Chain A
């Protein structure tokens, strides 16, 4: 079955507003939860990750929150800009030694 579920599959937000993408996972072995951004025709690039039991990590307009009890983690983008338009992938643990990617969220920033 699905080990990492990502929602929503598509998200449209007005420029300047916030966007939130959520992932849930089933295996609880890992403390590592990365987020990747993929612009059209380009490679996925790591934008932020969280590696501990700490609940939140921020990097300028991007933040990741982690709730290990509920087994979900979220990507938050504030003050969205046109260049934030892309597909975002979360990745979560699959056992002790692998990660699995979510199906992706296509984020559209509307002018």
Chain B
């Protein structure tokens, strides 16, 4: 157990809908990262937050948004869902965040299925 929690574990929804994925980082970690992993694909970096502020952006669609709250938990919002958004969404956390030597610890993931 990495100490990073994600809810829900599974989510099934329909095209056009909006969902929210939640992540709680390890105690003491200030950074949260979001990744998308489609079937048999690698980890696509979406976005990073550090201490409440957006720190880095990857290949995140405009339909997706995220935020990090004062208690450091983070939410990833996915809207106007399409079939291709079906994937495993991972959250990771690290102590710092402005440092490429920072170890990332992954949560168990949320499996999103769009029907």
Is A94 in contact with B100, judged by CB distance below 8 angstroms? yes
Chain B count of residues within 8 A CB distance of the other chain:
22
Most chain B beta-carbon neighbours within 10 Å: one of A29, A30, A95, A99: A99
**Chain B 73-115 interface residues, beta-carbon cutoff 8 Å to A:** 90, 97-109
**Chain B 12-69 interface residues, beta-carbon cutoff 8 Å to A:** 41-43, 45, 48, 55-56
Chain A count of residues within 8 A CB distance of the other chain:
26
Q: Which residues of chain A are near B99, meaning CB under 8 Å? A: 96-97
**SS of B interface (majority):** loop
A45 shortest CB reach to chain B, Å:
7
B15 shortest CB reach to chain A, Å:
24
**Chain A 35-94 interface residues, beta-carbon cutoff 8 Å to B:** 36, 42-46, 49, 51, 89, 93-94
Give the A-binding residues of B (Cβ under 8 A).
2, 41-43, 45, 48, 55-56, 90, 97-109
- 26 pairs from A and B in contact (CB 8 Å cutoff): A31-B101, A32-B102, A42-B108, A43-B107, A43-B108, A44-B90, A45-B2, A45-B106, A46-B103, A46-B104, A46-B105, A51-B101, A89-B42, A94-B100, A95-B100, A97-B55, A97-B56, A97-B97, A97-B100, A98-B56, A99-B104, A100-B45, A101-B43, A101-B45, A104-B42, A104-B43
Give the B-binding residues of A (Cβ under 8 A).
29-32, 34, 36, 42-46, 49, 51, 89, 93-104
